[in-house]
Structure 1
Amino acid sequence: MSFLEISRGNSPLLLGLPHTGTELPDDVAEKLNERGRALADTDWHIHTLYHGLLEDITTIRTRIHRYVIDTNRDPAGASLYPDQNTTTLCPTTDFDGMPIYLEGATPDQAEIERRRVAFHAPYHAALEAEMARIASLHGFAILYDCHSIRSHIPFLFGGTLPDFNIGTNMGQTCAPSIQSMVHTACAATSYTKVLNGRFKGGYTTRHYGRPSEGWHAIQMELAQSTHLATERAPFGYDTAKAARLRVPLKQILTSLQNWSPT
């Protein structure tokens, strides 16, 4: 599919990049208000941050923006965080709870289904196929789902978000040794970290994390203050901050690439 960027490697590691895209189909863009067209809730520059850290890994990235459809949400529309503020499969508000569509232009169920078929389903078909391919090579596969978010969003959480937010749905989506390895690597840095805090892993991590089948998944939600010059528009990439952050990220990915179930 033209909106997908797939790079295939032969190691056990797969990086998912569901929220770095900024493309909007014309028929969606024309319905968004000024706030929506600002695309503030992008996982800014995450594909750049991770690029080149390791060789021979597989990456799957969608260029479509999450306001078109959020590929890390349950396609049935069920909330992964009941009783907490969040956004939906086809968001109608931003992370501050403000409308992103022109009045009367929000997608109806038919439009949501059209977008699901056009964008959500192909992205997950690609993830499923690559996890299966990798598992056929090694007997297991590890999906590392790459995310970032502003460190201050009162609508979604109180206070300041830690730098590293590791999600495994309370240890259900990967082998205990994988969770421990990533958590230990984060704890060895000067960055703040939390395991299964506000972000416990989205649909992707929970859906593909099947340790009993040899499919392991872990989500890393980075606070954008770790690699952006500012968490406001224009959300510029800070090369010095990023260079510092890439050191522990490379260590984490290397440990995952070298992990073995034995």
Structure 2
Amino acid sequence: MNMKLMEFPPITLRLPERPVAGIVLTSPHSGSRYSREFLESSRLDSLSIRGSEDAFVDELFEMAPDLGLPLLAAQFPRAWCDVNREPWELDPAMFTDHLPDYVNTTSPRVAAGLGTLARIVGAGEPIYTRKLSFQEAQARVEQCWLPFHEALAKLIDDNLARFGHCLVLDCHSMPTPLSRLGGRPDVVLGDGHGTSCLPAWSNHIAAGFGRLGFSVRRNDPYAGGFITRHYGNPHEGVQVMQIELARGLYMNERQFTRKPVFETLRQKLTCFLEGVIATEQSWGARGPGLAEAAE
């Protein structure tokens, strides 16, 4: 394909000097580099177009490599290409041409306007001034979706080879209005209702946030996306936990600026990761969860 749409590398991968545990961190929705081509095709202003962005999440977890863990982050925005979707979840109404039969046009994400190429951002604001060509979708999948997932798959394989297991912490943020439902949780953990992560790990991660003073809810309203469903295979040694942090904890959601407490939250997240690392090193490749699951 000859279309050149990217003006910057699609991903950043920060590797530790010495890996200390079979843990990988991802930040798939924190990308904030909006290409000129994208901005010119959008009806939204420079703030509104960021409505679906998990702003600053990569910064909140930027200490990971210093702790001995890799951190994989998208640089492109979720509204441009959502790597937490199947590669071909597309809305036919967005395109000028007929979509191939292999495209998933009927998923709930597509119906909501939040497919691989989103139709809307935030609270339902339409993105585009025009319809797209399928060639544009192909270019975004090839230039954004594939590099991210190739890097993540390799990180998982490397951890399986080195440590015999892998825990993926898939890091996101959620709008404060959603985080106010039923008790305003600070953190929502998604393990696909127990399918992507063994109970021992799910319980430990929830308890780790709880010890640091965060209110925690599981799988409601976020149980995990494509990354959780696709990579989570607990009985083969791959645990995946989606972590959603309430944006109101650390940022002004209207202006997309960091609050003064940003560094305090990052320090708490450092403590959280240190606890997860210590547990992973204690449990080893199998951990109590496998014995528990076999009972």
Same fold (TM over 0.5): yes
1:41-68 deviation line (CA, Å, top 9, x unaligned): 2111111111225511101111111111
**C-alpha distance in 2 between matches for 1:178 and 1:69:** 30
1:101-250 to 2 correspondences below 5 Å: 101-102=128-129, 105-152=130-177, 162-228=185-251, 230-233=252-255, 235-240=256-261, 242-250=262-270
Q: CA deviation at 1:191?
A: 2.7
- How much has 1:181 moved relative to structure 2? 0.3
| Structure 2 residue corresponding to 1:88, chosen from 112, 115, 127 | 115
CA RMSD of aligned residues (A): 2.5
SS in 2 for 1:101: coil
Q: Tell me what 1:28 maps to.
A: 38
Match of 1:63 in 2: 75
The separation in 1 between residues aligned to 2:148 and 2:82, in whole angstroms, is: 11
Deviation of residue 81 (structure 1)? 5.3
- Per-residue deviation, 1:107: 2.6
Q: Deviations over 1:78-123 (max 9, x none)?
A: 5775798461110111121111111xx2334332222111110110
Give the Cα–Cα distance (whole angstroms) in 1 for the partners of residues 46 and 36 of structure 2. 13
CA distance in 1, matches of 2:114, 2:182: 19
In 2: Cα distance, 1:58 partner to 1:126 partner: 11
- Find the aligned partners of 2:136 and 2:110 in 1 and give their Cα distance: 26
The SS at the match of 2:68 is: coil
2:52 aligned with 1:47, yes or no? no
Q: C-alpha separation between the residues in 1 aligned to 2:75 and 2:215?
A: 30
**What are the Cα deviations for residues 157-186 of structure 1, in whole angstroms up to 9, with x where unaligned?**
967752101000001111211100011122
Hey, which of these two has a bigger chunk of helix by percent?
2
Q: Separation in 2 of the partners of 1:6 and 1:41? A: 22
Quick one: structure 1 residues 180 and 215, their matched pair in 2 at CA, closer, same or farther if it must change by over 3 Å? same
Shifted more, 60-69 versus 252-261: the winner is: 252-261
Q: What does residue 252 of structure 1 align with?
A: 272
The question of whether the paired residues in 2 share the 8 Å contact of 1:151 and 1:160 is answered with: no
Residue of structure 2 in register with 1:8 after alignment:
15
SS state of the match for residue 68, structure 1? coil
SS in 2 for 1:41: coil
Work out the number of aligned pairs and report it: 255
Q: Distance in 1 between matches of 2:51 and 2:110?
A: 24
- Take 1:100 and 1:140, find their aligned partners in 2: how far apart are those partners? 40
CA contact (8 A) 2:109 2:115 kept: no
Tell me, which stretches of 5 or more residues in structure 1 are unaligned?
none
Q: Summarize deviations over 1:187-230 as a string: whole Å, max 9, x none.
A: 334332201111011111211111111111101011100111x2
- What secondary structure is seen at the aligned counterpart in 1 of 2:188? strand
Counterpart CA distance in 2 for 1:153 and 1:84 is 20
CA distance in 2: counterparts of 1:13 and 1:180, whole angstroms: 17
Alignment CA distance shift 1:205-1:80 (3 Å):
farther
Distance in 2 separating the partners of 1:208 and 1:76:
17
